[in-house]
Amino acid sequence: MNATADLTTQQQRALELIQERGEITQSELWKALDANSRAGSRLATALAEKGLIERTETTRNGRRTYLLSPTDAQTANTDESPDEDSQTRQSATEEVSQPASSAAGDSQSDSQQDRALELIKDRRALYQSELWKELDVSSRTGSRIASKLEEKGEIRREATVHNGNRTYLLRPAKKDLDFSLLMAGDKISPLVGNDGEIDPITSDELSEWIFQLVQNQ
C-alpha cells in the first residue's frame, strides 16, 4: 500500500516541502506552512511514523530541534530538475547497492567531509547543489555532509535560491585569530607592524624574541 495515499492535505504539503528542500529543520517547516510549532511537530511525527521522512534531533542557532529529510525511497521517487535527476538517482542506487560496514562507512564519511571542506575553502562559496555533484554523491548524502560540517563549526549554510531552486550557499566559517601565537612571554613578534624587511640572521629583535619563545616552552 502506498504510504502517501492516506496523507492529509497538510501532511502532503509538508512532505512535498521536505522533498523539495532535501532537508529542513522542524522549526523551518512549520513557519513555511504558516502553522504553529505544535502543529508542525505533529506533521513531522506523523510523516516519520509512516516511514516517509527521517527525523533526527539536532541543534540550530543554539536551540534543539529536528532535522527532517526524505527517506531513501522517497528521495528516489522525488522529481528533481532535469539536470540533477539522472545523477541523483544513479548515486542513490549506488549507495543502496553497495552496503558497507559501520567502520568503513564512518571512514568514508570523514573522507567525504574532508573533501567537501577542501572544496568549500577553495571556492570560498559553493552551492550545496553543486557540492554533491562535485563529490559524486546523492543530494541527500551531500546535504548530510554539509550539515555535519556546519555542526562542527567548519562552515556556514545560508538558505538561498539558485537557478530557480531552493538550496544553501556554503561558506567557510570565520574563526577567531589566536594572537597568543605571536607572543613570546610579554613580547610580541617583531614582524608584526613592521613594513620593512627583517634579516633573520642579523636582527637582534628577532633573535631575542625567538630566545624568549624557546624559554617559554
Cell of 107: 571512514
Tell which CATH classification among 2.40.160.60, 3.40.50.1100, 3.90.1150.10, 1.10.10.10 matches the domain 9-72: 1.10.10.10
What's the 3-state SS for the chain?
A: CCCCCCCCHHHHHHHHHHHHHCCEEHHHHHHHCCCCHHHHHHHHHHHHHCCCEEEEEEEECCEEEEEEEECHHHHHHCCCCHHHHHHHHHHHHHHHHCCCCHHHHHHHHHHHHHHHHHHHHHHCCEEHHHHHHHHCCCHHHHHHHHHHHHHCCCEEEEEEEECCEEEEEEEECCCCCCHHHHEECCEECCCCCCCCCCCCCCCHHHHHHHHHHHHCC
What is the structure's pLDDT at 95?
Answer: 47
Residue 58 pairs in a beta bridge with: 65
83-133 pLDDT, tens per residue?
444 444 444 444 444 554 455 556 677 889 999 999 999 999 999 989 988
Cell of 173: 566559517
* CA-to-CA dists, residue 82 to 24, 27, 166, angstroms: 22, 30, 15
What is the structure's pLDDT at 117?
Answer: 94
Between CA 42 and CA 3 the distance in angstroms is 17
Percent of the chain clearing pLDDT 70 (strictly above): 72
Query: What residue type is 181 in one-letter code?
Result: L
- Topology agreement, domain 9-72 and domain 83-172: yes
Per CATH, the number for 83-172 is 1.10.10.10
125-137 pLDDT, tens per residue?
999 989 988 998 8
Domain edges within the chain: 9-72, 83-172, 180-215
173-211 pLDDT, tens per residue?
987 666 666 777 777 777 666 666 777 677 777 777 777
What is the structure's pLDDT at 212?
Answer: 74
The whole-model pTM stands at 0.41
